[in-house]
Chains A and B, each alone.
Chain A
Amino acid sequence: MMAELDWLRETTMWHHNRLAARVAKHLDLSVRYLDDVDAVNTTSALLPTTSCVYRDMLLRAGRVFLSSDAVLLETCKSGSGGHQIPLPARGEEFGPEGGERQAKLKLTQGN
């Protein structure tokens, strides 16, 4: 089972993706829309060029890490915001079981 924390981390990203699509539509910006197919009613979203989680939590090698206005490089997929904190080498792995939110994206339109 995917932990609640991993779900919230990924869904916060999708929250931003959906809000960005709403802003782009309202301001007539040229973007490529995607469908968030995991939403109950399929909703438009954008794919971020770069992103980072600056309030993060991670279990790694028997230690728990919690960041505030800092990026844990282990979970950071792109970009950086504030300080980057390298973690110890992987040992005992307790990473997310479910992985990515099921991002079965399909391009729907592009201006």
Chain B
Amino acid sequence: MTVLPNHTINLDGELEGFVFECCADDLANVLPLTKTSFGTTAIYECLTDGGSTFLDLSLNVAQKELKLVEVMDSLATEPMEPLKFDCMPDWDNDMNSQDSLKDQLTWREEIPSKIGVYHAFMRTAAQNMREHKIFIVMSGHCRHASEELYNLWLDARDSITAKQFIECADDG
């Protein structure tokens, strides 16, 4: 395990900020897996509109903050189930289909670890002038599916190898 300069202990008492490496034939119980697998940060750039969105946001900060809170609240009250492994496409039956591999069930989005709307006044690559840019930034993992994966690992970690776990979690 290589502990990185950004290492820390989180609120659950788990070490964060490292890279772990093991032999693929080692038992899966050596993996320092947590319930936050595949945490992802994504940035979405809004279309350039001459700064009108920036003006709208900066003049109505409190209102926009409220709207963002409304979105988060709506996630908590939606009747649909969150993303779980039940939603995974049926690969065995759908592989011969010409259509794309659709999810088996509908799922709702979950509240991310971090989310925000950001502004930058930045120089663009195409023009030698600054522009107002708006970005949606979010970071987090799918809590329920990630926890299911963690439970699969807990059940099987003493009887399968790390390679078997990485290749197909359900085989355990």
Contacts and interface: CB of A to CB of B under 8 A. Distances in A.
Given A63-B22, A68-B17, A40 B102 contact: yes
Nearest to B56: A28
Interface in A6-31: 7-9, 11-13, 15-20, 22-24, 26-31
B166 A7 contact: no
A104 interface: yes
Interface residues of A, number: 67
Given A68-B18, A69-B16, A12 B141 contact: yes
Contacts, number: 227
A64 B36 contact: no
Nearest to B45: A49
Contact of B15 (A3, A64, A68, A79): A68
Contacts of B106: 39-41
A48 B103 contact: no
Contact of A23 (B18, B56, B117): B117
Interface string A91-102: 000100010001
Chain B at the A interface: SS class: mixed
B167 A55 contact: no
Contact of B37 (A8, A24, A65, A82): A8
Main secondary structure of the interface of A (DSSP, over half): mixed
Interface residues of B, number: 81
A20 B116 CA distance: 10
A5 B152 CA distance: 11
A3 B167 contact: yes
Contact of B24 (A32, A63, A83): A63
B53 A30 contact: yes
Nearest to A19: B109
Contact of A53 (B33, B39, B142): B39
A9 to B, nearest CB: 5
A46 B17 contact: no
A55 B136 contact: no
Interface string B148-161: 01001000000000
Interface of B: 2, 4-7, 15-26, 31-34, 36-47, 49, 53, 56-57, 64, 67-68, 70-71, 75, 83, 85, 87-89, 91-92, 100-106, 109-110, 112, 115, 117, 134-136, 138-142, 145-146, 149, 152, 162-163, 166-170
